[in-house]
Structure 1
Amino acid sequence: MNSLPLIDLLIVIAYLIAMVLVGLYFSRKNTTADQFTKASGNIPGWAIGISIYATFLSSNTFLGVPGKAYGSNWNSFVFSLSMPLAAWAATKYFIPFYRNSGEVSAYTHLEHRFGAWARTYAVVCFLLTQLARMGSIFFGIALSLQALTGYPMAMIMIVVGISIVVYTVMGGMEAVIWTEVVQGVINTIGALAILYLVVDSMTGGIPAIIDIGKDNDKFSLGTLSPDFVQSSFWVVLLYGFFMNLNNFGMDQNYVQRYHTTGSIKEAASSVWLCVYIYLPVSLLFFMLGSCLFAYYESNPALLEPIRMAAATERLPGGSPAAISQLASTLTAEDYGDKVMPHFMVTKVPVGLLGLIVAAIMSAAMSTISSGMNASATVFSVDIYQRYIQPDVTPKQSMKLLYIATTVFGLLGMLTGIAMIGVKSVLDIWWLLSGIFASGMLGLFLLGIISRNTRNTEALIATIIGIIIIVWMTFSPQLTDEYAYLRNPLHQNMIMVVGTLSIFLIGILLTRFKKTKEPVGEAVGEEI
């Protein structure tokens, strides 16, 4: 990291060492699987709320959101606007269900309702979602640090990944939560610092930023017309609602935290605290992207190294002439993710740069560490103890959790390396999460809402739903000869249509069998 000033380098190294020491401190308490996965239910609700907020505020937000706002507009902010409704559903129905069941895994209920296949399907979808999430975050952090250090992205992912693995394996869930509390604060301060520096560097200040943003339609939330082909307001709102319902309602990252508090009320309050904090902070990141656009629009000569870097990444090994020609054709959307790292390199003063790098690293580490812990828990409970060795001893259980946490951390790192070269880290995450999460959310809603749906109807609905998800995902790649078979909807609708397909087909099949009890009983009664 010799391109960073010494003081910034020392700050980054000190942060990494501090995270490892936190894991070492909490490792003394990790004598049981219950402590490792649930922190024995002793974490206060406010700390859980900030940790959930920190999980949302990953490097996908820190880098992907400003990059998205720079390249397009505020359309993706509608995702955040959907959070309150999803949080309401989760706190009213899902949290009481999980707390009363006592199951640390979010997917045990599916086996009780539909059989082992349902639980296994949901677990596989969850693990794939986590690999996509961790991979995109590893990629995001490497994208930023490469601009600061010049080191290869793969090398950066390996160094950061090893640090995350060490403190997560040693510290367990309690270390994850308390480090996320610190990381959430650091992330927010870092974003505010960058925003201040951008505005301060802008000739004309805030009025000029607003004028340039208006002239280029940077503050638009998307068209309000009922358009589901492009990324309209309604497409992002529907996607956001179903994805946030999946996050708050059945994602193991969050469900596991509900068990770490002392009561249902504390668990519910933690979700609302996350929403109250994340909504204004996510708006801050969109503002940051618009401010960066105004700054570079006013200083177009500064964009040349950014375009060249993006072109070089897309055309590795190309001649200077070919790279230069490609760079001249790139749009703001093509290099949006690289703008904020470039601003940091050129405008952030020594000392503060190290703190902001630590903030970006903490944004990545918080989400990756929680994903590792949750993935290891699901693998241990839903796969290993279910199919391989049900009667594991406490010692064997701890060893299994340590190994699984390490393996999933390394797999997430490899997934990030495989993503090198993608256009937008936020787009690739939204696409992959929608594909994997829609199936398990639809099945889960079917299981808790429709009391009369049984194994056969659920299985048929899931198979049909998977076929629909696969078609919507891959049909755009069909040749022009089969253009009529392409999915006409926006890719974010995969999450919406996939979820509703499984749920509604299951309901229709249940009605078709003319069950004696009415379908669609109130969720509260079913739970």
Structure 2
Amino acid sequence: MTTIDYVLFFTYLIGIILLGASFYSKNKSSDAFTTGNQKFPAWAVTLSIFATFVSSISYLALPGSAYMGNWNVFVFSLSLPIAALIAVRYFVPLYRRVNSPSAYTFLENRFGLWARIYVSACYLLTQVMRIGTILYLLAITVHTITDWNIPFIILLTGISVLIYSIMGGIQAVIWTDAIQAIVLIGGALICIVYLLVNIPGGWDTFVTVGQESGKFSLGSYGLELDAPTFWVVLIYGLFINLQNYGIDQNYVQRYVASSSDKNAGKSALWGGLLYIPVSLGFLLIGTLLYVYYQTSGSLPTDLMGEGQSDKVFPYFIVQELPAGMTGILIASIFAAGMSTVSTSFNSGATVIYTDYYKRFFAKETGKDHSMRALYVASAVLSVLGMIVALAMINVKSALDAWWSLASIFSGGMLGLFLLGAFARRTTQVGAIAGVVAGLLLIVYLNVLPFFTDSGETSGLHSYLTIVLSTTLIFLVGFLVSIFFGKNEKRV
């Protein structure tokens, strides 16, 4: 990196911190911290939802996937319109009616306190894991590009995000998300244009080589269930996106923070749909990199092996881009990571404050006590996330362990929500039975093979875990309520 690259990067970083911190004077109440007093314009919430979809991992994993394989992962994005329309029709109006900063107030209203505590606890565990994973993988990437110390990058990113997210609350998060969304899109466009200009023959060569290498394939259209076929990825994407839109505090909090029901629906719809062309752009970068290094460039041998594809894009940024562009791309990668981490800090603090502190310890609190609780909750989440990230440095297998444990942490969340939202005649016994059945299935399909080192024992691809567990929770909860809940009050 040259001096101008460092200047551009640190100018961006300091600018984001100052922008977020500038909302401190407007962040003096719990309502301002969690919902921004519902004064956000639709376009800002739209960009914030989009930025929540994109992390620095997407920024690097999607090009790496397209470089090594094809565009199969784009099928995940194709499921977004279905999930977004369902969210606009059912989920957004539901949460706007509940009008609580927490997504999990609805579950207490529907099934009782146990449901609220269970799902909010699962959410907090996944957020700590998510923060740590993103900080760690972002640090690995930036280390590859800049040779900076990995713990330094983790602490720099975590502390920088904490400063502006704790000072400005959700107002800082949403407005910086909007800026970061523009930066990361701009960085991707710069790469696309640069690659097209520098590939001999430009677009024609790209299309020809890409077609000959099968790079534009969306995967097999067969019906096998043990591989990421078009249909497996599509149904997996639908369920994951329903979980995002339906029960993820990161998204629900933005519905409530919107200025009106109409604007909330618009933001939910367009925030998700914007991810489709952007994810396509990331895949385009991966395929362009493949064509570039096939026709006019050369990679070192250590990047040609299996499992090295995610490092090709960072290598290109450092070795091929001219001075100035490298700094912009580093800022883009940081933008993708910081937007996701800041969202997790604020939404996690909101859950701790609303579902635990306010619910159990201080139902009637003064303004000072409320803000202190939110500040402490944000700081605790940031410290735990950075600890997880630092722990991953020496325990590389922890990545696989965390992703496997995520299936338990988030297990039952979507199924329980769908049961509450769409099954009118449901009892608490039915809901509990459904969650237990779903968790047992998750352990069998996804977690047990990891700990027994026995691999895929079920013959099903891991993508189908959320599909089958969610379906089982809904069916068991509904049927138990119908046949065994006759003497229990239906909720």
Where on the TM-score scale, by shorter chain, does this alignment land: which range?
Answer: over 0.9
User: Where does residue 317 of structure 1 map in the other structure?
Assistant: none
The 5-angstrom pairing of residues 288-367 of structure 1 reads: 288-298=285-295, 301-306=298-303, 330-331=305-306, 334-367=307-340
- Check conservation: 1:246, 1:437, Cα contact below 8 A: no
User: Where does residue 455 of structure 1 map in the other structure?
Assistant: 428
For 1:258 and 1:515, the matched residues in 2 are separated by 36
Q: Does structure 1 residue 182 correspond to structure 2 residue 155?
A: no
The 5-angstrom pairing of residues 252-263 of structure 1 reads: 252-263=249-260
User: Where does residue 523 of structure 1 map in the other structure?
Assistant: none
Q: Which of 122, 129, 132 lines up with 1:132 in the alignment? A: 129
SS in 2 for 1:209: helix
- Check conservation: 1:65, 1:285, Cα contact below 8 A: yes
> Structure 1 residues 66 and 79, CA, compared in 2 at 3 Å: closer, same or farther?
same
Q: Does structure 1 residue 41 correspond to structure 2 residue 35?
A: no
Q: Does structure 1 residue 444 correspond to structure 2 residue 417?
A: yes
- Check conservation: 1:86, 1:245, Cα contact below 8 A: yes
User: Where does residue 27 of structure 1 map in the other structure?
Assistant: 24
Which string of whole-angstrom CA distances, capped at 9 and with x for unpartnered residues, describes residues 280-333 of structure 1?
1111111111111222234674132535xxxxxxxxxxxxxxxxxxxxxx32xx
SS in 2 for 1:259: helix
Q: Which of 202, 206, 210 lines up with 2:207 in the alignment? A: 210
- Check conservation: 2:162, 2:342, Cα contact below 8 A: yes
SS in 2 for 1:223: coil
The one-letter code of the counterpart of 1:155 is: F
- Check conservation: 1:165, 1:369, Cα contact below 8 A: yes
Higher deviation after alignment, 212-221 or 41-50? 212-221
For 1:91 and 1:432, the matched residues in 2 are separated by 31
The one-letter code of the counterpart of 2:377 is: A
The one-letter code of the counterpart of 2:352 is: F
Q: Which of 355, 371, 390 lines up with 1:417 in the alignment? A: 390
- Check conservation: 1:55, 1:370, Cα contact below 8 A: yes
Deviation at 1:384, TM superposition (A): 2.2
Normalised to the residue count of structure 1, the TM-score between the two structures is 0.87
Q: How many residues align?
A: 489
Q: Does structure 1 residue 507 correspond to structure 2 residue 478?
A: yes
Q: Which of 485, 492, 497 lines up with 2:468 in the alignment? A: 497
For 1:273 and 1:112, the matched residues in 2 are separated by 29
For 2:286 and 2:54, the matched residues in 1 are separated by 15
SS in 1 for 2:300: helix
For 2:438 and 2:419, the matched residues in 1 are separated by 12
Which string of whole-angstrom CA distances, capped at 9 and with x for unpartnered residues, describes residues 323-367 of structure 1?
xxxxxxx32xx0111110000000111112111111111111111
User: Where does residue 268 of structure 2 map in the other structure?
Assistant: 271
SS in 2 for 1:231: coil
Q: Does structure 1 residue 105 correspond to structure 2 residue 102?
A: yes
Deviation at 1:215, TM superposition (A): 2.9
For 2:441 and 2:90, the matched residues in 1 are separated by 28
For 1:249 and 1:381, the matched residues in 2 are separated by 18
User: Where does residue 378 of structure 1 map in the other structure?
Assistant: 351
Higher deviation after alignment, 111-120 or 204-213? 204-213
Deviation at 1:80, TM superposition (A): 0.7
Deviation at 1:516, TM superposition (A): 10
Which string of whole-angstrom CA distances, capped at 9 and with x for unpartnered residues, describes residues 30-49 of structure 1?
11000011000000111111
Q: Does structure 1 residue 241 correspond to structure 2 residue 232?
A: no
User: Where does residue 144 of structure 2 map in the other structure?
Assistant: 147
For 1:91 and 1:433, the matched residues in 2 are separated by 27
Deviation at 1:18, TM superposition (A): 1.0
- Check conservation: 2:49, 2:272, Cα contact below 8 A: no
User: Where does residue 324 of structure 1 map in the other structure?
Assistant: none
> Structure 1 residues 429 and 205, CA, compared in 2 at 3 Å: closer, same or farther?
farther
Deviation at 1:515, TM superposition (A): 5.0
The one-letter code of the counterpart of 1:364 is: G
For 2:141 and 2:283, the matched residues in 1 are separated by 18
- Check conservation: 1:422, 1:428, Cα contact below 8 A: no
- Check conservation: 2:404, 2:447, Cα contact below 8 A: no
Higher deviation after alignment, 384-393 or 118-127? 384-393
The one-letter code of the counterpart of 2:117 is: T
- Check conservation: 2:255, 2:268, Cα contact below 8 A: no
Higher deviation after alignment, 433-442 or 72-81? 433-442
For 2:213 and 2:406, the matched residues in 1 are separated by 30
For 1:434 and 1:152, the matched residues in 2 are separated by 31
The one-letter code of the counterpart of 2:229 is: S
Which string of whole-angstrom CA distances, capped at 9 and with x for unpartnered residues, describes residues 84-131 of structure 1?
111111111111111111111100121222222111111122112222
- Check conservation: 2:166, 2:378, Cα contact below 8 A: yes
CA RMSD of aligned residues (A): 2.5
For 1:156 and 1:374, the matched residues in 2 are separated by 23
For 1:274 and 1:289, the matched residues in 2 are separated by 23
The one-letter code of the counterpart of 1:359 is: S
User: Where does residue 444 of structure 2 map in the other structure?
Assistant: 471
> Structure 1 residues 20 and 514, CA, compared in 2 at 3 Å: closer, same or farther?
closer
The one-letter code of the counterpart of 2:34 is: T
For 1:49 and 1:180, the matched residues in 2 are separated by 10
For 1:463 and 1:446, the matched residues in 2 are separated by 14
For 2:364 and 2:423, the matched residues in 1 are separated by 33
The one-letter code of the counterpart of 1:416 is: A
The one-letter code of the counterpart of 1:378 is: V
- Check conservation: 1:113, 1:447, Cα contact below 8 A: yes
For 2:403 and 2:63, the matched residues in 1 are separated by 15
- Check conservation: 1:122, 1:440, Cα contact below 8 A: yes
Deviation at 1:430, TM superposition (A): 7.4
Which string of whole-angstrom CA distances, capped at 9 and with x for unpartnered residues, describes residues 370-412 of structure 1?
1110000001111222234433322111011111112212222
The one-letter code of the counterpart of 1:16 is: L
For 1:118 and 1:419, the matched residues in 2 are separated by 32
The one-letter code of the counterpart of 1:79 is: F
Higher deviation after alignment, 265-274 or 409-418? 409-418
For 2:149 and 2:465, the matched residues in 1 are separated by 34
- Check conservation: 1:478, 1:486, Cα contact below 8 A: no
For 1:515 and 1:72, the matched residues in 2 are separated by 54
User: Where does residue 9 of structure 2 map in the other structure?
Assistant: 12
> Structure 1 residues 127 and 78, CA, compared in 2 at 3 Å: closer, same or farther?
same
Q: Which of 378, 384, 387 lines up with 2:360 in the alignment? A: 387
SS in 2 for 1:75: coil
For 2:187 and 2:475, the matched residues in 1 are separated by 44
5+ unaligned residues in a row in structure 1: which ranges?
308-329, 520-525
For 1:424 and 1:347, the matched residues in 2 are separated by 33
User: Where does residue 72 of structure 1 map in the other structure?
Assistant: 69
Q: Does structure 1 residue 51 correspond to structure 2 residue 76?
A: no
> Structure 1 residues 162 and 479, CA, compared in 2 at 3 Å: closer, same or farther?
closer
Higher deviation after alignment, 101-110 or 26-35? 101-110
For 1:301 and 1:359, the matched residues in 2 are separated by 25
